[in-house]
Amino acid sequence: MFKEQGDSESNIIEHDFFRRPEDEQKDFLLQTWCNQCMEVDLGMKNPKEFESAEKIWIEGECVKCGAQVVTEIVYEDE
């Protein structure tokens, strides 16, 4: 497969988070880490899902303080 060098940052695709199954959505929205509150699992709102060449991640706002929280989605190789 053709792979571009050094320009992956500008190659970000936005996905519709709400296309995910409901139980997955719930897990992602609950399992968060907030840098501002320094606490896990406070939850996020306004989630947006992005994909680049290397990874997929979800950006949202901390339910408690409104700071940006990011959850990376890791797919394990089978």
In the bound state, the residue with its beta carbon closest to Zn ion is 62
- Three-class HEC string of 12-60: CEEECHHHCCHHHHHHHHHCCEECCCCEECCCEEEEEEEECCCCEEEEE
Q: Give yes or no for residue 73 binding Zn ion (CB under 5 A).
A: no
Q: Give yes or no for residue 59 binding Zn ion (CB under 5 A).
A: no
Residue number with CB closer to Zn ion (13 or 70) = 70
- Nearest-angstrom CA–CA distance, 69 and 34: 6
Residue number with CB closer to Zn ion (32 or 49) = 32
Q: Give yes or no for residue 44 binding Zn ion (CB under 5 A).
A: no
From 20, 29, 33, 37, residue interacting with Zn ion (rule: CB under 5 A): 37
CB neighbour class for 33 (10 Å; exposed up to 12, middle 13-18, buried from 19): middle
Where do contacts with Zn ion occur on this chain (CB under 5 A)? 34, 36-37, 62, 64-65, 67
